[in-house]
């Protein structure tokens, strides 16, 4: 039987951001569809709407001409829509079978029989009675897939399924998906990896900034054309003036490695780069490719080998963030609310987080509140933070104002190098422009910036040099003028 899934004029608005802007799409079984886009393009919102996790503000969903009201994930399941999320929803300490029986209404024996049939059919081999924690990532994913197949779904949605898989597991997955498709299951495959789209899918829908950009057949596309659609044409409208390139090297990273014990973190492999004074080095990449780890290594939250980081002719790889600040480095992390600032604390207390010896915020171990307050007032007026009450808890600041406060705080000491990670993430246009202007100003004062960002437009606008991080490795460093969005898109997707 043919399955037809239709999304009609779906809109979902979050405060300050339109996640899905009037998206309409139609899928038919027998084909594998790719939903392609950068982080924040709106893919995840769309599939969450399809799986009942999010309720759209407007728009309808039709399955075989029936209007679906998906108010919860259970509704999606009832309507034969199966979903495999990027991160597994399995109980690690329970056995595979126990995990599968949890949300099934069937008898133990009949369920076991059913699972055995499914596994035989698709050539899965998983021991049902061992705890899930003993499985590899690929096997865990198969458990999730089996969980969907038990309900014989009409639609199967896979959200970035290969991000945790090895090459071998990936090709196994592709074989299974093709088989499912042949059997009439409609497959929607969400990814930002261009190579996979070309390999696996029949049709591709590209999203950018909440809007559907294009729907086309794979045979009419190639990696370059898709990259272009995904990243968008560069809008270098307020591209900064070309800085006078100095050859005065400020920071040099040599053979920097980081191996994490946490399976959800990315290992950094052999990172090498240098930044000159007055320069902005942009580091592009799809999130989760090691940006956060790179930021932490640069800020000193993760200590590395002493000689791996040379800053202003000092080896500082083994120094803590506080010690690095004394060498005139400053850091603006990605997570404003959980790392860069403490929402429950007052504005001036948050200012004191960037503590320098010369700032005299703390004298002889005592808090020098007057000094901190004086400085906070200055930051608020210099950086246009929209309040005049430094006693305000910072949770009452908007994202843009909080980010201005953070950047302002980091620039108190006029540092030689500012390292920012997604500084405009989630901000409105006005705040974005303000932050961008501030960053350009820093470069004009012959200070340097390392800008780690998942926003390609931002990188193309602000950087003098650009490199791309993929799976913990940096690409070669390119001059920003030579870089096109196409090229970035290809590198971000892991191709050369």
Q: Nearer to another protein by C-beta: 194 or 397?
A: 397
Q: CB of 350: closest distance to another protein in angstroms?
A: 9
- Geometric angle at alpha carbon 154, from 148 and 157, rounded to 5°: 60
Q: CB of 24: closest distance to another protein in angstroms?
A: 34
Q: CB of 329: closest distance to another protein in angstroms?
A: 11
Q: Nearer to another protein by C-beta: 409 or 487?
A: 409
- The residues near 417 (Cβ < 8 Å, ≥ 6 apart) are 250, 251, 275, 311, 328, 329, 330, 447, 448, 449, 450
Q: Nearer to another protein by C-beta: 103 or 338?
A: 338
For every residue of 426-495, DSSP letters joined together read: T--HHHHHHHHHHHHHHHHTT-EEEEE-S-HHHHHHH-SEEEEEETTEE---EEGGG--HHHHHHHHTT-
Q: Nearer to another protein by C-beta: 299 or 475?
A: 299
- Rounded Cα gap, residues 220 and 89, in angstroms: 37
Q: CB of 332: closest distance to another protein in angstroms?
A: 10
Q: Nearer to another protein by C-beta: 12 or 336?
A: 336
What ranges make up the beta strands (E) of 160-231?
186-191, 203-208, 211-217
Q: CB of 449: closest distance to another protein in angstroms?
A: 18
Q: CB of 394: closest distance to another protein in angstroms?
A: 11
- Give 265-270 contacts, CB < 8 A, sequence gap 24+: 265/292, 265/293, 266/290, 266/292, 266/293, 266/471, 266/472, 267/293, 267/472, 268/293, 268/294, 268/297, 268/472, 268/473, 269/472, 269/473, 270/473
Positions that interact with another protein (CB under 8 A): 299-301, 320-325, 331, 333, 335, 338-342, 344-345, 349, 352-355, 362, 365-367, 395
Q: Nearer to another protein by C-beta: 355 or 387?
A: 355
């Amino acid at each position: 039987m043919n399955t037809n899934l239709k999304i009609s004029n779906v809109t979902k608005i979050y405060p300050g951001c339109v996640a899905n802007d009037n998206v309409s799409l139609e899928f038919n079984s027998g084909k594998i569809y790719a939903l392609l886009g950068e982080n924040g393009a709106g893919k995840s919102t769309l599939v969450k709407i399809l799986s009942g996790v999010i309720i759209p503000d407007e728009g309808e969903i039709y399955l075989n001409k029936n209007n679906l009201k998906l108010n919860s994930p259970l509704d999606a399941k009832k309507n034969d829509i199966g979903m495999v999320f990027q991160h597994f929803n399995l109980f690690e300490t329970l056995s595979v079978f126990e995990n599968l029986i949890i949300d099934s209404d069937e008898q133990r024996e009949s369920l076991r029989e059913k699972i055995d049939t499914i596994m035989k059919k698709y050539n899965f081999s998983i021991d049902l009675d061992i705890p899930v924690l003993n499985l590899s990532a690929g096997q865990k994913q198969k458990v999730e897939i089996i969980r969907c197949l038990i309900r014989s779904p009409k639609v199967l949605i896979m959200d970035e399924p290969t991000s945790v898989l090895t090459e071998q597991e990936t090709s196994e997955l592709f074989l299974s998906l093709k088989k499912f498709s042949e059997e009439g299951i409609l497959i929607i495959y969400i990814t930002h990896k261009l190579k996979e789209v070309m390999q696996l899918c029949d049709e591709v829908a590209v999203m950018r900034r909440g809007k559907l950009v294009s729907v086309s057949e794979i045979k009419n596309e190639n990696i370059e054309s898709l990259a272009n659609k995904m990243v968008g044409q560069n809008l270098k409208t307020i591209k900064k003036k070309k800085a006078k390139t100095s050859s005065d090297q400020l920071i040099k990273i040599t053979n920097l490695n980081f191996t994490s014990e946490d399976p959800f973190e990315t290992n950094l492999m052999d990172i090498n780069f240098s930044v000159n004074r007055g320069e902005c080095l942009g580091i592009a990449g799809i999130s989760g490719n090691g940006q956060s780890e790179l930021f932490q290594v640069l800020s000193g939250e993760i200590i590395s080998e002493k000689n791996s980081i040379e800053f202003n002719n000092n080896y500082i790889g083994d120094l803590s963030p506080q010690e690095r600040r004394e060498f005139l480095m400053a850091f603006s992390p990605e997570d404003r609310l959980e790392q860069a600032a403490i929402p429950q604390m007052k504005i001036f207390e948050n200012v004191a987080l960037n503590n320098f010896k010369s700032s005299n915020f703390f004298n002889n171990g005592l808090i020098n509140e007057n000094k901190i307050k004086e400085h906070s007032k200055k930051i608020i007026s210099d950086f246009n933070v929209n309040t005049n009450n430094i006693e305000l808890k910072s949770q009452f600041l908007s994202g843009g104002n909080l980010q201005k406060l953070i950047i302002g705080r980091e620039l108190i000491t006029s540092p030689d190098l500012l390292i920012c990670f997604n500084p405009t993430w989630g901000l409105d246009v006005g705040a974005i422009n303000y932050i961008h202007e501030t960053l350009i100003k820093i470069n004009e004062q012959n200070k340097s910036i390392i800008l780690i960002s998942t926003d390609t437009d931002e990188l193309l606008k602000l950087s003098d040099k650009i490199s791309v991080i993929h799976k913990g490795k940096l690409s070669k460093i390119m001059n920003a003028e030579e870089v096109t969005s196409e090229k970035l898109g290809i590198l971000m997707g892991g191709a050369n």
